[in-house]
Chain A
Amino acid sequence: QLQLQESGPGLVKPSETLSLTCTVSGGSISSTSYYWGWIRQPPGKGLEWIGSIYYSGSTYYNPSLKSRVTISIDTSKNQFSLKLSSVTAADTAVYYCATIRYFDWLSHYWGQGTLVTVSS
């Protein structure tokens, strides 16, 4: 059973870059079965897909965030990462990492989520 765990700073200053890492256990991040994705949820609001990466490094980003997002993968550490630049208060959210199954885009495994607050 796959397990995912987000880690990173809980507080980021406006205009700086938010950086999070998701560590995968119980399976290999080099699996051909999954994309590895980031989804966020502002407090009291709905879910927004940020982007996904395949083990090969191929990425897909939400067009609304594409100019500020970079997702990368480190197969040697079984980790993938999110960088979101030029953050504002609107980027305050719980950030989840999740699997996205390759052939049907379903998310079966999620991290517990980590709250990132953008504030000076």
Chain B
Amino acid sequence: DIQMTQSPSSLSASVGDRVTITCRASQSISSYLNWYQQKPGKAPKLLIYAASSLQSGVPSRFSGSGSGTDFTLTISSLQPEDFATYYCQQTYSTPPLTFGPGTKVDIK
């Protein structure tokens, strides 16, 4: 199975900050990498698919990049509603679906 790692596991940032989260796959997954946002007590929400495609309705301050084994999620200017946990997910080799361990973004 493909293993996913994320860094950092958590970060503190201020409104307006640029935030970057990294996801790494244990083997090449081409661009089959997706990002989900989860707020406390809520189900995950798809933000970005195929490494860099923005899901409909997601603000343009979110962007994704990368291919192969290394990927990044960037929030260009952090907003109050962006404080959440972010998970990467690979869909290159399925099943099983595998998620990264998550990165929690909280308020500095």
Contact = CB atoms under 8 A, between A and B. Distances in A.
A54 to B, nearest CB: 12
B95 A112 contact: no
Give the bracket for the number of chain A residues in contact with chain B: 20 to 34
Contacts of B42: 112
A112 B99 CA distance: 19
B87 A106 contact: no
Nearest to A97: B43
Contacts of B55: 108
A52 B95 contact: yes
Contacts of B38: 47
Give the bracket for the number of chain B residues in contact with chain A: 20 to 34
Interface stretch (A15-23, A59-67, A84-92): A59-67
B95 A107 contact: no
B96 A62 contact: yes
B43 A106 contact: no
B91 A110 contact: no
Interface string A91-120: 000001010100011111011110000000
A98 B99 CA distance: 15
Contacts of A106: 34, 46, 49, 91
Lowest 5 CB-CB distances: which A-B pairs, in order?
Answer: A110-B43, A49-B97, A105-B91, A60-B95, A47-B99
Interface of A: 37, 39, 46-49, 51-52, 60-63, 96, 98, 100, 104-108, 110-113
16 contacts: A46-B101, A46-B102, A47-B38, A47-B87, A47-B89, A49-B98, A52-B95, A61-B95, A62-B95, A63-B1, A63-B96, A105-B91, A105-B94, A107-B36, A110-B44, A111-B43
Given A37-B97, A51-B95, 17 more contacts: A39-B97, A47-B36, A47-B99, A49-B97, A49-B98, A49-B99, A62-B95, A63-B1, A63-B96, A104-B49, A105-B94, A106-B34, A106-B49, A107-B44, A110-B43, A111-B43, A113-B43
